[in-house]
C-alpha cells in the first residue's frame, strides 16, 4: 500500500528538533520520500495533515504489557511488598490465553499514546508475539527469567525462534533482577551472552534496598556484580538505574550500556529519582519506558517525558536541566537504538514507516512558539491523531484498526481479572 501525507510539518529527528514543511510518502512498510515536491505517483491513500506534525513514533523501552490486569489492583505499596505479596501470586495464575488478551489491551493504549514499539519483558512469550502480530504492532521481547521460572536453555531457543518468526517481532536476552535470580542462573546467562555475542537487559538498581542487599551478598552493586561475571561484554542495559555508584557509571560508559528510566513507576513506588543529568553528562544513552500498568498505572509517553525533565529540574535545582529536546530524543531515537530497532529511530527514506501525527489544532499546542517543546511540556494523548506501524495505520482519529473490536478486548480483560481474583 502507498500512502501520501501532505501539508505536514515534519520532525525527522535526524537533525535535532528542526522541523521542515512538506510531505512524506510511504510505500509498503518503508518511507519512500520526504520533501516538498508533490510528485506524480498514484497513492492508495492520501492524508491532508493540515499543518500537523509527522514524527517518529515513541518507543516504550521498558514495559510489562500484559500487567494491564493489575492496573489499580495493588496500589500504594512499596516495591518489595507490592511485588512479592500482590504481583507474584496473581502472575502465577496467568495462562497464554490471558496474556494474549491482556497484551492486546496494552497495545491499544500504546497506540493512543503514539507508541509504535515496545520492549516487553514478560512471560508466555508465544502469546505476547501472537498478540503483537495479530494487532500489527512492533514488539521487542526481553526474557524475564528468575528463580521462579525460565531457564537459559529455553531462552536460547526463544532467541532463535523469535528472531525470525515475523518482521514485527524481535527478542533480547534478559532476566528479572539480581535479587530474584541465583548466581548459577546469572552465570549461565552470561556464558550464553558471550557465546552468542548478545546484549543483556535487566531490572537494576531500582531501589536503595536492592543495592544495599546486593552489596551485602557480593560486596558489589548489581551493576558491578553483573560486570564481574561478564554479563555486559556485548552491551545491553538496565531498567530503572536509580541508585548508581560512581563505578556503575564507569561500567555503563565502558560497556556502552543503555539506562532506561521509568519516572512515573519510580515515583509511585517511592523508589527514587534516576540521575538522568549525570547520564547525559557522562554521554551514557538514556531511553524511556513506562514500566508496567500495575506500577504506573498508565502507558503514556507524554506523562513520562514531562516527568523525566521535570524531576531532573527539581533534583538538580536547575530549571535548565534536562532540556526537552534531549527528552524527545530519549523517547524516539534512543529507545529504538536500545531495542536495536536501527531502522525505526528517525524518519528517513528507507526507514520503517513507524510514524505518528501530532494534532496541533488543539488548545494545548497553541501558540506554535516551539512545537517540539510543546510536545514534551504540554502534549498529551489527545494530540495523537494517527499512529502508523510498519506502514499500516493502526489508530486514526480515535478509531483502532487492529483486527479486533476494542470492546471485545475490554470485555475479555474484565472477565480475566474477575476469574483470577476468584481462583
| pLDDT for 120 | 98
User: In Å, how far from its chain's centre is CA 195?
Assistant: 27
Task: Name the strand (E) or helix (H) holding 280.
Answer: helix 276-281
Predicted local confidence at residue 414, as pLDDT: 96
User: What are the extents of the domains in the chain?
Assistant: 2-56+343-400, 58-338
Q: What is the pLDDT of residues 130-174, one digit of tens each?
A: 999 999 999 999 999 999 999 999 999 999 999 999 999 999 999
Q: What is the pLDDT of residues 13-50, one digit of tens each?
A: 999 999 999 999 999 999 999 999 776 789 999 999 99
Per-residue pLDDT, 249: 98
Give the global pTM: 0.96
Region for residue 288 given its phi and psi (left: phi exceeds 0; alpha: psi -120 to 50; beta: otherwise) = beta
CATH 3.20.20.140 fits 58-338, yes or no: yes
The set of long-range contacts for 268-272, using a CB threshold of 8 Å and a minimum separation of 24, is 268/75, 268/295, 268/296, 268/297, 269/77, 269/78, 269/79, 269/82, 269/207, 269/295, 270/78, 270/79, 271/79, 271/206, 271/207, 271/240, 271/242, 272/207, 272/208, 272/242, 272/243
Which one-letter DSSP state was computed for residue 149?
A: B
Judged by DSSP in three states, 322 sits in coil
Domain 2-56+343-400, what fold?
Urease, subunit C; domain 1 (2.30.40)
pLDDT confidence of residue 11? 98
Q: List helix spans (H) across 125-236.
A: 125-135, 152-162, 183-196, 208-218, 222-228
SS3 content of the chain, % helix, strand, coil (to 5): 40, 25, 35
**66 neighbors 22 (Cβ within 8 angstroms):** no
Q: Please say whether the dihedral angle defined by the alpha carbons of residues 237, 31, 325 and 281, taken in this order, is positive or negative.
A: positive
Q: How far apart are CA 234 and CA 229, in angstroms?
A: 12
Cell of 290: 513506562
Residue range 351-376, pLDDT digits in tens: 999 999 999 999 999 999 999 999 99
Low pLDDT (below 70) residues in the chain = 39
* pLDDT value for 87: 87
Residues 6+ apart with CB under 8 A from 165: 129
CB atoms within 10 A of CB 123: 18
3-class state of residue 170 by DSSP: strand
By DSSP bridging, strand 286-288 and strand 258-261 are parallel
Task: Report residue 391: phi and psi, to 5°.
Answer: 85, 5
Residue 139 is placed in which grid cell? Answer: 514488539
DSSP 347-385: --TTSB--EEEE---SGGG-S-S-HHHHHHHT--GGGEE
Amino acid at each position: 500500500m502507498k500512502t501520501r501525507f501532505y501539508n505536514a510539518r515534519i520532525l525527522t529527528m535526524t537533525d535535532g528538533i528542526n522541523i521542515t514543511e512538506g510531505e512524506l510518502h510511504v510505500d509498503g512498510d518503508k518511507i519512500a520520500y520526504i520533501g516538498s515536491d508533490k510528485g506524480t505517483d498514484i497513492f492508495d491513500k492520501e492524508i491532508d495533515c493540515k499543518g500537523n506534525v509527522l514524527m517518529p513514533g515513541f518507543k516504550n523501552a521498558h514495559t510489562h504489557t500484559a500487567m494491564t490486569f493489575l492496573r489499580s489492583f495493588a496500589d500504594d505499596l512499596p516495591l518489595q511488598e507490592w511485588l512479592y505479596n500482590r504481583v507474584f501470586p496473581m502472575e502465577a495464575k496467568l495462562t497464554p490465553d490471558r496474556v494474549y488478551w491482556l497484551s492486546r489491551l496494552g497495545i491499544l493504549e500504546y497506540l493512543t499514546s503514539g507508541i509504535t514499539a515496545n520492549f516487553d519483558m514478560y512471560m508466555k512469550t508465544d502469546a505476547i508475539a501472537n498478540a503483537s502480530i495479530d494487532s500489527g504492532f512492533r514488539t521487542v521481547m526481553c526474557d524475564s527469567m528468575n528463580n521462579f521460572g525460565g531457564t537459559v536453555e529455553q531462552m536460547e531457543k526463544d532467541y532463535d525462534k523469535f528472531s525470525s518468526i515475523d518482521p514485527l517481532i524481535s527478542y533480547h536476552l534478559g532476566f528479572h533482577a539480581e535479587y530474584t535470580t541465583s548466581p548459577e542462573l546469572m552465570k549461565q546467562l552470561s556464558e550464553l551472552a558471550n557465546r552468542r555475542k548478545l546484549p543483556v537487559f535487566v531490572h537494576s538498581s531500582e531501589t536503595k534496598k536492592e543495592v544495599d542487599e546486593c552489596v551485602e551478598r557480593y560486596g558489589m552493586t548489581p551493576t558491578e556484580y553483573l560486570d564481574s561475571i561478564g554479563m555486559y561484554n556485548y552491551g545491553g542495559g538496565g531498567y530503572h538505574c536509580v541508585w548508581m555508584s560512581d563505578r556503575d557509571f564507569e561500567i555503563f560508559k565502558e560497556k556502552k550500556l543503555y539506562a532506561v528510566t521509568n519516572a512515573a513507576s519510580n515515583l509511585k513506588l517511592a523508589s527514587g529519582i534516576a540521575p538522568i543529568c549525570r547520564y547525559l553528562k557522562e554521554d551514557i544513552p538514556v531511553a524511556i519506558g513506562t514500566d508496567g500498568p500495575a506500577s504506573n498505572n498508565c502507558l503514556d509517553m507524554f506523562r513520562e517525558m514531562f516527568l523525566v525533565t521535570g524531576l531532573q529540574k527539581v533534583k538538580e535545582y536547575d530549571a535548565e536541566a534536562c532540556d526537552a529536546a534531549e527528552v524527545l530524543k530519549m523517547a524516539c531515537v534512543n529507545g529504538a537504538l536500545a531495542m536495536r530497532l536501527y531502522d525505526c529511530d528517525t524518519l528517513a527514506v528507507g526507514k520503517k514507516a513507524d510514524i505518528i501525527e501530532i494534532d496541533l489544532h488543539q488548545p494545548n499546542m497553541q501558540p506554535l512558539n516551539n512545537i517540539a517543546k510543546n510536545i514534551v511540556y504540554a502534549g498529551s494523548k489527545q494530540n495523537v491523531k494517527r499512529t502508523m506501524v510498519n506502514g499500516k495505520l493502526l489508530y486514526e482519529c480515535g478509531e483502532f484498526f487492529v483486527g479486533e473490536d476494542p470492546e471485545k478486548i475490554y470485555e475479555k480483560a474484565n472477565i480475566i481479572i474477575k476469574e483470577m481474583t476468584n481462583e
